[in-house]
Amino acid sequence: MSLMLKLLAITVLSSSLLFSVTTSEKVEDFLEEQFSENRGLSSLNVEVVDIVKLDKLKDWNAYIVSVKADMKQKNKTKKIKQKMI
């Protein structure tokens, strides 16, 4: 599970650096593409739920993202629900 959290953190940081001034749709597409590379995840759903303008960084936005997926663990499937920046 810690590997999953590291992947999420790296992906979110990468997306915020690469797409800081883009539309929500592009951020969702990027994250879905990155998460889909993980074979342990299925029924992936990524959605931008809020956009916050950053006061100290002109023209930068923070994207609040909701991620829902099923993670395969041995013979079980675990539901994952997370919100992240």
The domain limits of the chain are 2-84
**Position 66 pLDDT exceeds 90:** yes
Asked if the model's pLDDT at residue 50 lies above 60, the reply is yes
Q: Give the residue among 70, 66, 12, 11 at the shortest CA–CA distance from 40.
A: 70
Residue ranges of alpha helices (H) inside the chain are 2-18, 24-36
Length of the chain: 85
DSSP bridge pairs for 11: none
3-state secondary structure of 60: coil
- CA-to-CA distance for 19 and 51, rounded, in angstroms? 12
Rounded to whole angstroms, the Cα distance separating 1 from 6 reads: 9
pTM (2 d.p.): 0.64
Residue 84 pLDDT exceeds 70: yes
